[in-house]
Chains A and B, each alone.
Chain A
Amino acid sequence: MADALPRPAPRRRLLVSGLLLGAGTAGAVDEIVFHQLLHWHHFYDRASGDAGLVSDGLLHAATFSAAVAGLALLADARRRGPFPAVLWWGAVLTGAGAFQLWDGLGNHKLLRLHQVRYGVDPTGYDVAWVLPGAALLLAGVALLVRSRSRPVPRP
């Protein structure tokens, strides 16, 4: 066993860890900054209807569960030795960008669950919501593509 190298974490598990942690972190930032600190979003705005109640509750539980699972899988990947950081960061950014885009386009516009801010014209806020999401997603995908051409580092 002396020459046995620690087995690097399988690519797929690292991908899952990054995607879960990215989406979970984006959801937590949304919750903490816009719900708790700025109070732009409401617990329930009495206008969004029953679909909003279900979607908000589901998304909340899903994001914090994803963050915990992503952290545990990350810890497991790190103890396996060589850690392909580019791949993992690519997955994190992809997860965060996908969540932000879904929140901005799907939740706010398609389903009209709630808006970014109330009492003002939401267009500027929508752009400020969707563009960073798209940028995160693109950066993440670019890193993922780059990580394919770069082999896992060996110690």
Chain B
Amino acid sequence: MTALLALLLAAAAGYVAATWRCRAPWPLTRTAAWLAGLAAAAVAVAGPGAAHADLHAHMAAHLLLGMAAPVLLVLAAPVTLVLRALPPPAARRLSRVLRSAPARWATDPLVAVPVNAAGLWLLYGTGLHTALAHRPALAALVWLHLLVSGYLATAAVLAVDPAPHRRSVGVRALALAGGAAAHDVLAKVLYAYPPAGTVGAEEGARLMYDGGTVVTLATAALLWRRWYVSRAAVRAAAQPA
């Protein structure tokens, strides 16, 4: 857990340092979103939710780490910041990496969202969740995975940072809804069949269901809002008949 917290601290320091190296002024709201996202992740990792036997407390941590923190981190547009802060040759190399096939797959909503959902099913649907209670190193890895795969799925849906082949808004909205459906069904399954060796499964499942709905609604609103103000949609609406 200490390693995870150190990683989050390094991410905060790196982002702030990059804003200083940025040639044009970097919006303060984005820095605030990044720091708030990292703080949410830190609270999830270090707070009472790290206890695996109490599913209710654990789900609060899961929602913070896997859903709320990723939305805030994505809104901070870290890739855009890094591309602007790096010297031009290094930025060109990075954008070549971002255009490579593996990077394109990882940021495709039709890949990133199912992978994120499958990870959750694997964690709670199998015995993995209860096995983590006695293996702190493995638990830390799983926490990191939740944050990273939550980030990739949210980034793929919201597409704040530049992406070489962006999916249309309809496909991204469908991917988001599909991910939410997998999340909802998993919450209901956890309610009906609580994992062995846990308490508070019913409250935890309801929290997962309701909290997931709130974060997904906010994400969908952000997605459609970004589409509404996008240059292409504005131009299409203003075109002569």
Contacts and interface: CB of A to CB of B under 8 A. Distances in A.
B227 interface: yes
Interface string A58-100: 1011101110110110011001100000000000000000000
B220 A68 contact: yes
A65 B188 contact: no
A2 B228 CA distance: 24
Contacts of B224: 68-69, 71-72
Contacts, number: 82
Contacts of A71: 224
Interface stretch (B13-21, B32-40, B131-139, B178-186): B178-186
B237 A6 contact: yes
A58 B177 CA distance: 9
- A8, A46, A62, most chain B CB atoms within 10 A: A62
A135 to B, nearest CB: 29
Nearest to A16: B170
B232 to A, nearest CB: 12
Given A8-B241, A57-B184, A72-B227, A64 B191 contact: no
B213 interface: yes
A76 to B, nearest CB: 6
Contacts of B209: 43, 60
A46 B216 CA distance: 27
A71 B225 CA distance: 10
Contacts of A53: 185, 188-189, 192
B240 A57 contact: no
B228 A72 contact: yes
A58 B174 CA distance: 12
B46 interface: no
Interface of B: 173, 176-178, 180-181, 183-189, 191-192, 206, 209, 213, 216-217, 220-221, 224-225, 227-228, 233, 237-241
